[in-house]
Amino acid sequence: MKKAQLEKILKRYDYQDSDLLAILQDVQTQENYLPRKTLEEVAERLAIPLARVYKLATFYRTFSLTPRGRHLINVCLGTACHVRGATMVLERLKRDLGVKAGGTTKDLRFTLDTVRCIGCCSLGPVVVINEEIFGKLNQEKAAKLLKEYN
């Protein structure tokens, strides 16, 4: 992240270290991950220990310390989706993308992750890509979905 961009974010929060969480969220949104160098700059500009920034950055699942893909795929592995074959869908996506759960494709197109029930069990198996929900999936349908994103 460019220095000026970070400065803009920090300014938005008046350089208050009590807003560290919100600051990290803004960095994550803009960069799709938290670059080490940016975290070091955050610590320096707010005059707080890097250990504190790192503690927070590693605590929340929304943060990632490595680059995430442009599109985030979440496969629901909640009980309802599970009994309807969610693991088959997950296995297929893993195979097609060549990544493990939690992994990111080399071209940074996709990050594949799993969740536990997103609350629309009757649609299971469910997959969420970015903010959009896709239900009643099977292996073929899931594989086809990927083509819609680049």
Partner 1 sequence: MADKEMVRFAIDGQEVEAEKGTMLLPVALEYGFEIPHLCYHEAVSPYGACRLCLVEVTKRGRTRLTTSCNYPVDEGIDVTTDSEDIQRARRMILELLLARAPHSERIKKLAYEAGIKETRFSLMDVGDCILCGLCERVCREVVGADAISFISRGDKRDVGPPFADPIACIACGACVYICPTDCIKMEERGDERTIVKWNRTLKMQECKSCGKPFAPLFQLNWIIDKVNLPKDFYDLCPVCRAGR
Residues that bind ligand FES (CB under 6 A): 76, 78-81, 117-121, 124, 126
Which three-class secondary structure state does DSSP give residue 130? coil
- Determine if 58 is a binding residue for partner 1 (CB under 8 A): yes
Q: How are beta strands 71-76 and 132-134 bridged, if at all?
A: unpaired
- Determine if 51 is a binding residue for partner 1 (CB under 8 A): yes
For residue 55, what are the contacts with CB-CB under 8 A and spacing of at least 6? Answer: none
Residue 26 or 113 having the CB closest to ligand FES: 113
- Determine if 88 is a binding residue for partner 1 (CB under 8 A): no
State the DSSP code for 69: P
- Determine if 54 is a binding residue for partner 1 (CB under 8 A): yes
State the DSSP code for 61: T
User: Which residue in the block uniquely carries the two structure tokens 């929304």?
Assistant: 62
Length of the chain: 150
What does 124 bind: ligand FES, partner 1, none (CB cut-off 5 to 8 Å by kind)?
ligand FES
**Site residues (CB under 8 A) for partner 1, limited to 28-47:** 36, 39
Cβ at position 93, least distance to ligand FES in Å: 15
Helix and strand totals (H; E) in the chain:
7, 4
Cβ at position 60, least distance to ligand FES in Å: 22
Cα separation, 102 vs 112, whole angstroms:
5
- The site for partner 1 (CB under 8 A) is made up of 36, 39, 49-55, 58-59
